[in-house]
Amino acid sequence: MRQDIEFNAEGPMLRGWFFTPDTGSGPFPTIVMAHGFSAVKEMYLDSYAEVFAQAGLAALVFDNRNFGASEGEPRYEIDPWAQVRDYRHAITYARSRPDVDRERIGVWGSSYSGGHVLVVGAIDRRVKCVVSQVPLVSGYRNILRLVRADMLAPTRAQLDQDRESRMAGNPPGMIPVVTNDPYGLAALPTADSYEWFTKTGETRAPAWRNEVTLRTVEMLMEYEPGTYIERISPTPLLMIIAAGDHLAVADEAFAAYNQAREPKKLVILPGGHFEAYTGPGFELASGAARDWFVQHLTAKAGKEAIPA
């Protein structure tokens, strides 16, 4: 069962969906979920939420501020710390609902939001379980992997020019999220990013826009969610890492997992960053997340695994 929801994030109204199991009665353990870099909820978050609901969990799915159905200005700007705070607003809203068990809240994130949930799990003790899928761990080191060395100085110069332009009263400069030009400038300049975003946007999320503000890239370079990972314990942490991930960079994620403290678990997906959203990769990732949440959020925690 799915219903439309909205809640106040100390300013903008954030909108999304609330999923509940078809059987049983609340209050339900609940998973709070948002998407990654520029993506909107229609880009397969409903598929994950349905898997969780079939296992007896509720799921609160929302669009990040400035994107999709949610309010917020400037449009298409990603402030990672604002998105972290919005996860916490979503948790507060979830705990206000009579159909939510306020003491059994989990968080799930993927890609950019996979980094966000590392932070939220570390700083918000209302969270009882964390699943971080194909996560961004270090914005700075990620940019060093994605941007050619000879383009770093021109990129910084462009960001500085944008600051001066904004101070002069002009709107923020924009940059494509993805591009199919191997020499073109984009926030996520990889071929698999272009294929996934354009195909998924066309088939599932026609409202998705291929642009973010230039300031978004600057804030990405400053964001280091992996530095929080040691503080998540004793909250249980599951990390789902794609072995061939060159967007969020698999070796960075593996190194972060090694820094995490118990209780923790690692699941490795074959293939690249976007394999987690469809096909066998989705089956593996969603099943692992479901089992982790059921184990740590239900009354039968740890007693039995649910069937695949």
| pLDDT for the residue 305 | 37
What the block records as the tokens of 37 is 């870099």
CA distance 14 to 82: 12
Mean pLDDT of 1-22: 97
Q: What integer is the mean pLDDT of 152-172? A: 93
78-87, 188-197, 225-234, 296-305: range with lowest mean pLDDT = 296-305
- Residues across the chain: 308
Q: What is the pTM of this model?
A: 0.95
By the 8 A CB rule, do 29 and 297 touch?
yes
Which domains are delineated in the chain?
2-139+223-297 (3.40.50.1820)
Rounded to whole angstroms, the Cα distance separating 226 from 135 reads: 9
- State the pLDDT at residue 307: 36
* Sheet strands (E) in 122-257: 127-133, 174-175, 212-213, 237-242
Cα distance between residue 230 and residue 261, in whole Å? 6
Give residue-wise pLDDT tens across range 175-193: 999 999 987 889 999 999 9
- pLDDT on residue 300: 55
Summarised one tens digit per residue, pLDDT across range 42-54 is 999 999 999 999 9
CB 274 within 8 A of CB 196: yes
**pLDDT higher than 90, residue 225:** yes
Q: Tell me 67's DSSP state.
A: S
